[in-house]
Amino acid sequence: MATSLFPAEYLEARASYRAFMDEHVFPAEHALDREDDDAAALLARLQERARVSGLWAPHVPPEAGGSGEGFLYYACLNEEIGRSHWAQLVFGCQAPDAGNAEILHLFGTDEQKRRFLVPLVAGEIRSFFSMTEPDVAGSDPTTLRARAVRDRDEWVIDGRKWFSTGADGAGFGIVFAITDPDADPHRRGTMILVPADAPGVTITPTVVMGHTGRGWNTHCEVSYTGVRVPVENTLGEEGEAFLLAQKRLGPGRIHHVMRWLGQMQRAFELMCRYALEREAFGGPLADKQTVQNWIADSAAQIQACRLLTMDAAGKIDAGVDARVEISLLKFTVAGALVEVLDRAIQVHGALGLTDGTPLAGMAMRARSGRIYDGPDEVHRMVVARRILRSFRDGEGWRFT
């Protein structure tokens, strides 16, 4: 694998994560998959070991309580962290907490940071992002209906959300609520920090792809019935929910993509190794032209996705608006992940459908990546509209 994408210190850090993964995370996967009390205790031990090893919270900078050095650095590390579903939780950089920590760090008041950000980054509590609703298209936040009405020094929140990842057992949520229904569509909403144990909050895990899960590994419906929180819990300014959502979802999307790079590379390695050892019709699968085509196509997709991701990460670090690049790589990598995993499963045959390899679980989770944080079709629309607008304005489009 080419290493010129990253400076030497990034590669040294990645090697530390790789060693930790090999020694501690991969051997623990089956135990963690059980999601029982023993799994929770094991997870806590692994998290403490990650802290002691200086590998904790690489998604945020030291001033926010983490060990991060920017998006490109984090992308480099995720070629290892992303290989295991559980690794992001082990290292304290799991979704949706990573994205929530970023906007709290950028927009939270000192008191909000003390109350919510510090324990979140420390791994003492988890959080959820409460935006998507079951009765309207999640791809169009201007149609959201959950309301927050001002009653003197409190917000009173009513509404119904779903696909609030990790809400089960979380300490708080960041809620997108409509506070001025008569305003411009992009100024109607406000982000509000809501403790999960506030009276009127009801959290119900949802079955997704046949899996319910426990704790962090859940996607929940959250109902708000007369929920009261202080106005001081407003994140950012009133009416800035759409702006903050874009600030959060952009980094959140590239975080997902970074993890998918690790998933693809692990699936690719499993496919290649199994193709060399599995015999069928007089020789190893690796000798079959179809399998060779799958390997070549997968290698091309993985490297193209890596380059797209690192380009976007570098631009974000440089302060460039990478909205188009993020949308481009979101739908490209989501699709490539599904295809690479499907080929790997096909090479493994019936074994690929069992828990004898991590491929089946990886594939189940991968399919939802084409929907959450914006479906493929919306991101394609964003990219095409931006490019066409440039041509309409006489600028054309340069691939930089």
230 by DSSP, 3-state: which?
Answer: strand
CA distances from 334 to 240, 283, 329 (A): 29, 33, 8
Q: What is the pLDDT of residues 205-228, one digit of tens each?
A: 987 777 777 888 889 999 999 999
- Give this prediction's pTM: 0.91
Residue 331 · residue 254 · CB < 8 Å: no
Domains (range + CATH), the chain: 8-108 (1.10.540.10), 127-235 (2.40.110.10), 243-392 (1.20.140.10)
Which residue ranges in the chain fall short of pLDDT 50? 1-2
Q: Amino acid identity of 302?
A: I
**What's the confidence (pLDDT) of residue 209?**
73
Cis status, amide bond into 96, omega within 30 of 0: yes
**What's the confidence (pLDDT) of residue 319?**
92
32/87 Cα distance (integer angstroms): 10
**What's the confidence (pLDDT) of residue 2?**
47
Paired sense of beta strands 154-165 and 147-151, if any: antiparallel
Q: Which of 226, 225, 222 is nearest to 151 (CA)?
A: 226
